[in-house]
Amino acid sequence: MLLTLGFSPCPNDTFIFDALVNQKIDTQGLSFEVVLEDVQTLNQWAIEGKLDVSKISYGVLPLVLNQYKVLNSGGALGNGVGPLLITKDPSMGLKDIDKLSIAIPGKNTTAHLLFSLAYPNAINKSFHVFHEIEDLVLSGTVDAGVIIHENRFTYQQKGLHKLIDLGHYWEEQTGLPIPLGGIVAHNRLIDTVAIQVDELIRKSVEYAFAHYPHITSYVKMHSQEMSEEVMKQHIDLYVNNFSLELGSKGKTAVHKLLEVSENITQKITDNKHPVFLH
């Protein structure tokens, strides 16, 4: 059986899915047509119901609950893993943020949701692919930007300064880990297949952990501009026990994010399906 599968080329995703898509584990009769795209593209495709299985930002989950269920494995949750708001002007203070122009890595991303939680009155926002944010700030096109992924490890080298860790703000407000991205399966898949995929992703993560800190050629080929040290920092930050299994704490965090999203957008989600795959 052939399924479409989308995830990002970032080291945490390629690390997680390497063993699955390259058949380093027994895929039990399933094969995958893999598409690697930036998270905002994957979010949009999830709204359109394009892929059978996909990585998404938890920020877009309220918009796709009628089509997808969240799998237990393969996601990115944790403590100290949230997006950062950065600027090139070290004199800029938090009191100025509502007046600033802010670059955000995608409208339907968790990063946008966390920024909106912290700064609901900041409305001068523009949306971009995540790897464009640093250059927009450096060029003065925007006053500040929200960075994610590997940019967390490189922004200081470019002379940029952190205004606030939005993940830390979330943790202070909720006491929960930060739900960044999850894996979802389309409702057109019967439950037995979705469960099978979920179990295979877990085995893929287990395989990756068993062979770590070795960085495979699959991870390297999609991270050509990163040093191996940055790849490992990326994996260490975003892949953890929640990537193996959301568990009750992870699910509570996702539900809390849905609640926050509803409060911010003032939209009530008409969801007739369970959020999580049982």
pLDDT digits (tens, 9 = 90+) for 82-93: 899 999 998 888
Residues 71 and 192 in one domain: yes
Asked whether residue 205 is assigned to any structural domain, the reply reads: yes
Q: How far is residue 97's CA from residue 274's CA, in Å, rounded to a whole number?
A: 37
Give percent of the chain with pLDDT exceeding 90.
Answer: 74
Q: What is the pLDDT of residues 197-209, one digit of tens each?
A: 999 999 999 999 9
Predicted confidence (pLDDT) at residue 266 exceeds the cutoff of 70: no
Category of 216 on φ-ψ map: left (φ > 0), alpha (ψ -120 to 50) or beta? beta
Element housing 265 (H / E): helix 247-265
User: Does 278 reside within a domain?
Assistant: no
Amino acid identity of residue 262, one-letter, is E
Question: Which structural domain, as residue segments, surrounds residue 166?
Answer: 84-174
Mean predicted confidence (pLDDT) in 200-228: 94
Tell whether the model's pLDDT for residue 271 goes beyond 70.
no
SS3 of residue 245 by DSSP? coil
Q: In CATH, what number is assigned to the domain containing residue 73?
A: 3.40.190.10
pTM: 0.86
**Which residue among the candidates 112, 128, 149, 186 is catalytic per the annotation?**
149
- Residue 259 pLDDT > 80: yes
In this structure, which amino acid lies at residue 177?
P
112: annotated active-site residue: no
**pLDDT on residue 272:** 44
pLDDT: is 93 or 4 the higher one?
Answer: 4
Domain shared by 197 and 259, yes or no = yes
Strands 76-78 and 178-186, by their bridges, are antiparallel
- Average of pLDDT values for 87-110? 89
Q: Tell me, yes or no, whether 105 and 157 share the same domain.
A: yes
For residue 268, the model assigns a pLDDT of 43
Number of domains forming the structure of the chain: 2
Last residue of a domain, one of 122, 149, 174: 174
Name which of 38-42, 51-55, 205-209, 241-245 the model is least confident about: 38-42
Q: Tell me: pLDDT of 110 over 50.
A: yes
Answer with the one of 174, 206, 231 that is the final residue of a domain.
Answer: 174
Cα gap 179→185, rounded to integer Å: 17
Q: Stretch 77-106: mean pLDDT, rounded?
A: 90
Tokens found for residue 1:
């059986």
